[in-house]
Amino acid sequence: MTAGAGPAPLALEVEGLAATWPDGTRGLERVDLRVAAGERLAVLGANGAGKSTLLLALAGFVPLAAGRARVLDVEVGPRTARAVRERLGLVFQDPDDMLFCGTVGDDVAFGPRNLGLDPATVFARVSLALAQVGLDPALAARAPQRLSAGEKRRAALAAALAQGCPVLALDEPTSTLDPRGRRRLIETLAALDRTLLVVTHDLELARALCPRAVVLERGRTVHEGPTAALLDDPARLAALGL
């Protein structure tokens, strides 16, 4: 940072966030976090801690029950869902939830087309997104069902990138990948010029990609700090269920 420069603007700001699923199940009790623009933050916690619910709440898929959340100065709420999703791209844990068109190219183009972009711009975004994730352009004509697990994850990431969102929220991005696919995905994510919010059980992914981590427990923020310091503290990891 240059002399006199102020702090980086916030990409995400969450204060006292609680969220309740439509069936009445409480998914989050109180989550507080701030993420600077360009930062890569790991969200850790045991199963059922509320990690995936947090991402869905930020993207407007789970109603907020209390507190507030802002994505690049846009308040998350029922009336701002479109504006929020233009700023925050969600990559689901199961890539099949994002790959539902006849071809990979149509899946990656789905977001830009729904933004009302012209065909030339859509094509340029699809080409760039496929290149960013290291997928052969020829795969654009292939049915997503014919992709390998690693290719599906890359195609799902490309679909989010093509929307042009400055913030990406990823749910268990390395799950089901073999070691080679995992390494390639980590390299891809590290090269992105985006703010990343990464939910993961993969502690070494967190160490390699995210300088800072928060830990959720029963829907609450219970730890925040440098990722390496947390992972090098076995007693603290055990106490947090990690």
Domain CATH for 46: 3.40.50.300
2-11, 110-119, 198-207: segment of lowest average pLDDT: 2-11
Cα-trace Rg, the chain: 18
Q: Is residue 2 part of a domain?
A: no
Note whether 108 and 136 are same-domain residues: yes
**Residue 50 and residue 63 in contact, taking contact as beta carbons nearer than 8 Å:** no
Both tokens of 160, joined, read 């989010």
Q: Is residue 154 part of a domain?
A: yes
Note whether 78 and 180 are same-domain residues: yes
Both tokens of 201, joined, read 């059980």
pLDDT for 23 beyond 90: no
pLDDT for 14 beyond 60: yes
Note whether 74 and 176 are same-domain residues: yes
| Residue 6: band (very low, low, confident or very high) from pLDDT cuts 50, 70, 90 | low
Both tokens of 206, joined, read 């967190």
Mean pLDDT value across residues 183-193: 88
Q: What is the pLDDT of residue 3?
A: 52
| Residue 59: band (very low, low, confident or very high) from pLDDT cuts 50, 70, 90 | very high
Number of domains in the chain: 2
> Over pLDDT 90: what percentage of the chain?
61
**Which of 164, 179, 213 corresponds to the end of one domain?**
164
Q: Is residue 83 part of a domain?
A: yes
The residue to which tokens 């509320």 are assigned: 50
Helix-strand-coil split of the chain, %, nearest 5: 40, 25, 35
Note whether 24 and 70 are same-domain residues: yes
Beta strand pairing call for 212-217 and 220-226: antiparallel
Q: Is residue 92 part of a domain?
A: no
| Residue 1: band (very low, low, confident or very high) from pLDDT cuts 50, 70, 90 | very low
Q: Which of 29-43, 74-88, 126-140 has the highest mean pLDDT?
A: 29-43
**Which of 164, 188, 203 corresponds to the end of one domain?**
164
Beta strands of the chain (E only): which ranges?
Answer: 10-20, 26-36, 40-44, 64-71, 74-75, 88-91, 167-171, 195-199, 212-217, 220-226
| Residue 4: band (very low, low, confident or very high) from pLDDT cuts 50, 70, 90 | low
Note whether 142 and 199 are same-domain residues: no
Note whether 111 and 67 are same-domain residues: no
Note whether 53 and 173 are same-domain residues: yes
pLDDT digits (tens, 9 = 90+) for 140-173: 999 999 988 888 888 998 999 998 889 999 999 8
The residue to which tokens 């929020």 are assigned: 84
> Over pLDDT 70: what percentage of the chain?
97
**Which of 146, 164, 182 corresponds to the end of one domain?**
164
Q: Which domain holds residue 145?
A: 103-164
Note whether 170 and 81 are same-domain residues: yes
pLDDT digits (tens, 9 = 90+) for 80-133: 988 998 899 999 988 888 899 999 999 999 988 988 889 999 999 999 999 988
Note whether 157 and 183 are same-domain residues: no
| Residue 37: band (very low, low, confident or very high) from pLDDT cuts 50, 70, 90 | very high
